[in-house]
Structure 1
Amino acid sequence: MPVLQTANASRKPTDFDSIRIQLASPETIRAWSQGEVTKPETINYRSFKPERDGLFCERIFGPVKDWNCHCGKYKGIRYRGVVCDRCGVEVTQVKVRRERLGHIELAVQVSHIWYFKSLPSRIGALLDISMRNLERILYYESYVVIDPRGAPVEKLGLLTEEELFEIQEEGGDPEVEMGAPAVKRLLEEIDIEELSAELRTLVRMESSIQRKQEALKRLKVVEAFRQSENRPEWMILDNIPVIPPDLRPLVPLEGGRFATSDLNDLYRRVINRNNRLKKLINIKAPEVILRNEKR
């Protein structure tokens, strides 16, 4: 994704020549963000004010009233730009709630579904792994070999718990991992320029039509990364951007009920699971429970 810029009064929304969509690094997402969303709550249903650190937090996204902080200490345009020392809300206009982003810092890395499930799988093409095997790694069903270390296994080979135990019993000690962190580590090791050159050579030299077509498919993905200057490991997410609250509003209805965007429910589910996983990690829960929660 392109680097975001806040709205500027001197520029019109139509002042652009083109739009380019690309991957965003974890650092870029953090740079966009005004703060981390850590609670799944939206508003307090008694006061109807946004909950602190929640999905509508004024400290992160801006005030719900022009030139008013959350606690009421600062009111009026004369305090423009002041950050309240009590509630942490900047005194500014409500319209910033249409442009300010937050983020969710994930307890464990996850794969972006577009690059894992879409055909052809971009992650699978770069690592030369079938979608079924990639699924087994990402869903914590099998280990992937990072470094054989002299053991009778190949790099990128898959091992079950039992197979790994047998190898270790025989004295082998391969370096293995599972889940999105393992895939991210493998993607970080890829030299795009070198892989592009290897695949070009393979396409020229290969006599088998099927293998040549497979190499061309991989080369297409590699070239897209090379030309866009994106890094493959950015397909594995360390954090998730949270879009501005006014783009996913909470609308009051008759009888004290609220209509809400589906996005808020999706964000809430992510935050709840993320917080639950953090607690399990902190209390050192058994690995089998952690894996089940990470899936």
Structure 2
Amino acid sequence: VLTCRSRRGVCAKCYGRDLGRGHMVNIGEAIGVIAAQSIGEPGTQLTMRTFHIGGTASRAVEQAELVSQIGGVVAFKNMHHVENAEGIKIVMNRNAEIVTLDEQDFSKHLDGVKLGSKNISVEMSASGEIVVRDKGEIIHKAKIRERERFKVNYGAQILVNEWSALDPGTILADWDAYTIPIVAEVGGTIKYGDVEEGVTMQEKVDPVTGKSSKVIVHSTGALQLNPRVSVKGERGKTMKLPDSEIFARYSLPVGSIITVEDGDGIKAGTIVGKIPRETSKTKDITGGLPRVAELFEVRKPKEPAIISEIDGRVSFGKELKGKRRVIVTPEYGEPQEYLVPKSKHIIVHEGDYVQAGERLMEGTIVPNDILSVLGVKELAKFLVNEIQEVYRLQGVKINDKHIEVIVRQMLRRVMITASGDSKFMIGEQVEWWVFEDERDRLMAERSEFMADGGTFAEAPKPPAAEPLLLGVTKASLSTESFISAASFQETTKVLTNAAMAGKLDELKGLKENVIMGRLISAGTGISEDMAE
């Protein structure tokens, strides 16, 4: 539905089946009305249902482990881990994966390779190939059939060994579902920095367990303070992370709990702090419906996240006015810098590889950021996914095409970025087909002009535009028809603007025809009317 190029409505081929009747959709079917009803109706049901439950909290059960359903040979992909004091592997990067490979395929390809041998190393490359090295030299490469693939959370404990064979039902890794750990990558002695009781830290006692914990709090008068935990070596100098020049300092965002004492001796892999996850809060549809409204109205979320605009490696620069500097450096081209407030938790780590559109900090992604970084297709995917997430939580199934119909209307307009020799002004918002017609007209004139021997510099210049994402209210007010817009909201404003611009309403839509008392241009019998 999103990619259909038809100007009025959607063509039947792109829409596909009429889900109410099970056959190809009829020409003239009011799919927009059906879409709105399909999304709105479950919402009314679910808000009522919350009263029937009697206020019991429907907590979202958090997944806290990875279980192999099929079994096979374990391989680690893109994983950087350290062993803690108990000898358990702790994952130290974000985009690590555990892959289970087909056992027969594995033994067929690697028959005769001594996996446990001292000089021989086996690893999985970024492309998914198994690479065998003898004293650093590649002696064998093989593409082995994958059975399963799992994304592993930062700070998870790996409970299996690489290249070992597993039975179905084996637990591969587990983690704490309610907190995000801050893990030390080197051993040494703990030293607090800017952790001052009553200023940046408070001791809080849990009324149930009676345990006290040190919690980092927001301090008003201490803008320059940056609560952190450092790992010191024998001479009191801050340790450096393995194979890098970065110091082992861990910033503690507001709300995090310190799990080590000042002066404690620790080993690599020790958890020095925990950040509570937001997800353990109760979720229900009444909490979910405002989220749906937020997405459809394209409102800025309460806690927006900063996303990376390019692919590249993460590093941290000098701090600036109470903000931390995150630098993303691509393989080729200029690095990008982002400033993140110290009170926010940065979810990327030094040396991590991030892709364009990935979050750098905790928070909700702003749809407009996705549009500018990844484009229309990814934005539409994101919106459909986020809206479905709310309904999925309640076990409601809504077909994607209904949401797509509405997202299509939100993406109808473009904003002119360069006017060229067109009739548009920079910053003007127009329907995409109006822009395309004008651009095609100027392109044709340009070709003609060049064919007649004209120079490139003197040729007519076509306009340029970027896609716009409008909330449903804004999209309804900015339709081509002023009668439809006036009947919706801000009547005087809409009619005044239409009168000043000398607008003409061609009565193409439904609302304006109903208001004027004419036959509407929809309904399943419309094709017969047209034929007559």
TM-score range for the pair, normalised by the shorter chain length: under 0.3
Normalised by the length of structure 2, the TM-score is 0.16
Pick 1 or 2: higher relative contact order, CA cutoff 8 A, min separation 6.
1
When Rg is computed on C-alpha atoms for both structures, the one with the higher figure is 2
TM-score (norm 1): 0.26
Whose helix proportion is higher, 1 or 2? 1
